[in-house]
Structure 1
Amino acid sequence: MTQVLKARAGIITEEMEKVALDEGVTPEFVRQGVAGGTIVIPKNKKRKEFKVCGIGEGMSIKVNALIGTSSDCDDMELEAKKLAAAEEAGCNSFMDLSTGSDIDGMRHQTLSLAHVAVGCTTIYQAGIEAIEKYGSVVDMKEDEIFEVIERQAADGMDFMAIHCALNFDVIKRMQTTGRVTQVVSRGGSFLTGWMLHNQKENPLYAQYDRVLEIMKAYDVTLSLGDAIRPGCIADSLDGAQLEGMIIQGQLVQRAQEAGVQVMVEGPGHVPLNHVDATMRVQKSLCNNAPYYILGTLATDIAPGYDHITGAIGGALIGSCGADFLCYLTPAEHLGLPIEEDVRTGVIATRMGAHIADISRGNKKAWQRDLAMAKARVNRDLDRQIELALYPDKIKAAAQDADFDQICGVCGSECAAQVAAEYFGLGSNHSL
């Protein structure tokens, strides 16, 4: 039985209990969310023990990191280092997007090293294998796509991005909307090319029940890939994106009815004034399934700093209801990230997620910020280090012998300290 079917039968699983403890909610709350499709717990039934996480309504916002080989950088040892850097920075999951020479071997390495949930984008491997076998993606056979999905699920993938919501109706809509960037999703471009060349419907849409059977067999969380997401601010909420969201909603319903855990991928490049509308439409169409955001990028003109624009967009869309943020690194739109880019991307995205958690009234997030404020007034350096999302900067500043006695910003005339003394609170008073 999948997590969904167990939840609907009234069973609280070990994974639900762990999520409840981590989130500070009751196991029954988690069970109800999983049963209703508003919470997913990505964990393949074949995976060894790792730190599971709950994604969705009532959960803290989670952060995903990306790793993977390519033809330009086919170095599995480097990817292992990037994985370690992302885990150290506090990501909740990885996606292995490898397209290098040994995709199976890379996946096995990632699964063996990761202590968090692991996902992938299935069409990448199917497309690369078709190129190697036939010389072109458009010659890919339908059964070969499903063989790859089965292989990846059997290896232990916890969640899989599968581009089921792309069909000819979506493509026709895109061709009439005057879209600037057309298809920016690599998986979407593989399938669009295959469909137009062969004049056949997307097999992942036409044979969706086949996808659900595999997901259900291994209890893999289906992530409905956003093949038609906007690749620039100008394309946000255009007809093609909305058409794709409607199809996603229909497929979410079918997955939930089948007892498959499902979440929905979303944009992409989104101006801030579109964020709330994007979330409202998606949640309404998709029965409040968890929303997995690829960004969002709040502007197109900051190459080299997209981790910052992504954190800004992520904080706002998270506050509006997004549940899962895929990081952006400084290398976005420039090239493949190195270890430091990965770490920086996770840091920026976790900050955005925490900011959104505060705005959503997450009790743990709110209490952590309140405790930091008290620690600053009390000049409690150890407590500040303990509470900091990333304490490296404050640790470095603490090398100054007077740091815990004099405010690092104001010096001896710290406003907080003057006020505390005036009101008789004292440096160690518990506010």
Structure 2
Amino acid sequence: MTRVTQVLAARAGEITPEMETVAKRENVDVKSILEGVASGQIVIPHNVNRKEFNYCGIGQDLRIKVNALIGTSSNREDLSLEERKLAFVERAGCDSLMDLSTGGNIDGMRRLALTKAKIAVGSVPIYQAAIEAIEKRGSIVAMTAGDMFETIEKQAIDGVDFMAIHSAYNFDVLKRLQGTGRVTDVVSRGGSFLTAWMLHNNQENPLYEQFDRLLEILKKYDVTLSMGDAIRPGSTADSLDAAQLQGLIAAGELVARAQAAGVQVMVEGPGHVPMNHVEATIQVQKRLCHGAPYFILGTLATDVAPGYDHITAAIGGAIAGAAGADFLCYVTPAEHLGLPTEEDVKEGVIAARIAAHAADLARGNKQAWEKDRQMAQARVARNIDGQISLSLDPEKTRVALAAGDDHSCAVCGPNCAAQVAAKYYGIVS
């Protein structure tokens, strides 16, 4: 391994191949990418142990990125199913995926994802460490600090590009949480594992207490740290409470340490957020966390739509993106109900991509505006192939247009408003 981290390269004025690729994809001057990486406002996840893939830049003034989730569990260990999901999320235009496996062949699933994926791959190492502690020692609370760090390094060696690690969770945050009167307490799986471990062992979170040890591992492999949100609000009633803000303060302190060490870092959060809280949430995060990219888990705009949470997340995600969020994690219709099917994954991906594109428009992204303009022109010109290629879901568009009439418009029929007007204006013959 000869490559330094993207951050250290940028600070030395070195333009890396990853920066060049991102600049080309974003249609921006590569110097702006270099400056963003150097300042910590842009990250480019790429583990030194992974070969070339479709790198993405995440952060200020870039197109909003979309992440998908796959992984096995004790209830479903079908690697072929997860491989099909992986292939779909890539075809659908996701910029990254995360392996959230909590059962079955966890190592095998991760290595499959790293081998097959042509996009950035993330993970949550505490999941594997906790599950293996149950298998080896009988309980999650029997997990050791060594277990946690060994799992992180093992996954880094395998080539994981970014990791969600709940370092910004300490006893100060936990005490604040206990005094808030929250409705949903801890809804983060990683956060719940650490809460049980800290309270049972009466010890500080090792991922916080030994943060420098963590940074050494991440820096060695240039793994991007995704600061896990252990106490994100699990209901709109808990949005912007004292515990959430205490967690952001802790995250901000650790972000500064990671950036100083030359480790790429972004911040996760916040979960369930009513629409009138979204803009304030983004502003507080950006302020406290030194402009680090914000990885949005949702945001879910309401709690009362089980089966439709891909829609509630798209509503919140679009508003969050317009307000400055940089990275949207998809939510499927199965959220709060069960394990997602292939169809759930598809619905979640498309909803998140719609939200990201709508937010890009609101932020004035030139590529997004050009794509919308081209779609409008294709509709007026009855350019079916153009409409299909520009669609966020080309297959659905293809099927729908194939079922239409000669005017390719199932709503208007032969009296399509755009085409009738265009005929008399001389736009179409």
Report what 2:283 is aligned to.
Answer: 280
Report the Cα distance in structure 2 between the residues aligned to 1:407 and 1:167, rounded to whole angstroms.
57
Report what 1:142 is aligned to.
Answer: 145
Question: Once the two structures are superposed, what CA deviation does each residue of 1:53-86 show, in whole Å capped at 9, x if it has no partner?
Answer: 0000111111111111111112222211221122
Structure 2 residue identity aligned to 1:426: I
Structure 1 residue identity aligned to 2:96: S
Measured after TM superposition, the shift of residue 192 of structure 1 is 0.7
Q: Is 1:31 the equivalent of 2:16?
A: no
Report what 2:324 is aligned to.
Answer: 321
Report the Cα distance in structure 1 between the residues aligned to 2:337 and 2:316, rounded to whole angstroms.
19
Report what 2:60 is aligned to.
Answer: 57
Report the Cα distance in structure 2 between the residues aligned to 1:284 and 1:140, rounded to whole angstroms.
35
Report the Cα distance in structure 2 between the residues aligned to 1:396 and 1:150, rounded to whole angstroms.
46
SS in 2 for 1:274: helix
Report what 1:45 is aligned to.
Answer: 48
Once the two structures are superposed, the pairs formed by residues 11-410 of structure 1 within 5 Å of their partners are 11-400=14-403, 402-403=405-406, 405=407, 407-410=409-412
Report what 1:421 is aligned to.
Answer: 423
Measured after TM superposition, the shift of residue 406 of structure 1 is 6.1
Distance 1:402 1:78, change over 3 A: closer
Preserved contact between residue 55 and residue 61 of structure 1 (Cα < 8 Å): yes
Report the Cα distance in structure 1 between the residues aligned to 2:404 and 2:174, rounded to whole angstroms.
64
Report the Cα distance in structure 2 between the residues aligned to 1:126 and 1:397, rounded to whole angstroms.
47
Report what 2:9 is aligned to.
Answer: 6
Structure 1 residue identity aligned to 2:427: G
Measured after TM superposition, the shift of residue 399 of structure 1 is 2.4
Preserved contact between residue 405 and residue 413 of structure 2 (Cα < 8 Å): no
SS in 2 for 1:412: helix
Question: Once the two structures are superposed, what CA deviation does each residue of 1:156-211 show, in whole Å capped at 9, x if it has no partner?
Answer: 00000000000001111111110011110010011111111111110000010011
Distance 1:250 1:86, change over 3 A: same
Measured after TM superposition, the shift of residue 14 of structure 1 is 0.4
Report the Cα distance in structure 2 between the residues aligned to 1:222 and 1:394, rounded to whole angstroms.
38
Q: TM-score w.r.t. structure 2 length?
A: 0.97
Structure 2 residue identity aligned to 1:61: I
Report the Cα distance in structure 2 between the residues aligned to 1:195 and 1:389, rounded to whole angstroms.
44
Structure 1 residue identity aligned to 2:271: G
Report the Cα distance in structure 2 between the residues aligned to 1:22 and 1:206, rounded to whole angstroms.
39
Preserved contact between residue 404 and residue 410 of structure 2 (Cα < 8 Å): no
Preserved contact between residue 406 and residue 412 of structure 1 (Cα < 8 Å): no
Distance 1:407 1:33, change over 3 A: same
Measured after TM superposition, the shift of residue 374 of structure 1 is 1.6
Report the Cα distance in structure 2 between the residues aligned to 1:328 and 1:242, rounded to whole angstroms.
24
Measured after TM superposition, the shift of residue 48 of structure 1 is 1.5
Report the Cα distance in structure 1 between the residues aligned to 2:246 and 2:316, rounded to whole angstroms.
23
Measured after TM superposition, the shift of residue 407 of structure 1 is 4.0
Report the Cα distance in structure 2 between the residues aligned to 1:317 and 1:89, rounded to whole angstroms.
22
Can you give the 5+ residue segments of structure 1 that lack an aligned partner in the other structure?
A: none
**4+ runs deviating over 3 angstroms:** 400-403, 405-408
% same residue: 66
Distance 1:359 1:401, change over 3 A: closer
Structure 2 residue identity aligned to 1:144: D
Measured after TM superposition, the shift of residue 342 of structure 1 is 1.0
Q: TM-score w.r.t. structure 1 length?
A: 0.96
Measured after TM superposition, the shift of residue 408 of structure 1 is 3.2
Q: Which shifted more, 384-393 or 273-282?
A: 384-393
Measured after TM superposition, the shift of residue 400 of structure 1 is 4.7
Structure 2 residue identity aligned to 1:10: G
Structure 1 residue identity aligned to 2:279: D
SS in 1 for 2:415: coil
Can you give the 5+ residue segments of structure 2 that lack an aligned partner in the other structure?
A: none
Preserved contact between residue 295 and residue 328 of structure 1 (Cα < 8 Å): yes
Equivalent residues, number? 426
SS in 1 for 2:18: helix
SS in 2 for 1:328: coil
Report the Cα distance in structure 2 between the residues aligned to 1:158 and 1:39, rounded to whole angstroms.
15
Preserved contact between residue 252 and residue 289 of structure 1 (Cα < 8 Å): yes
Question: Once the two structures are superposed, what CA deviation does each residue of 1:77-125 show, in whole Å capped at 9, x if it has no partner?
Answer: 2211221122222211111111113211211111111111000001111
Structure 2 residue identity aligned to 1:187: G
Measured after TM superposition, the shift of residue 50 of structure 1 is 1.1
Q: Which shifted more, 376-385 or 307-316?
A: 376-385
Cα root mean square deviation, aligned:
1.3
Measured after TM superposition, the shift of residue 412 of structure 1 is 2.9
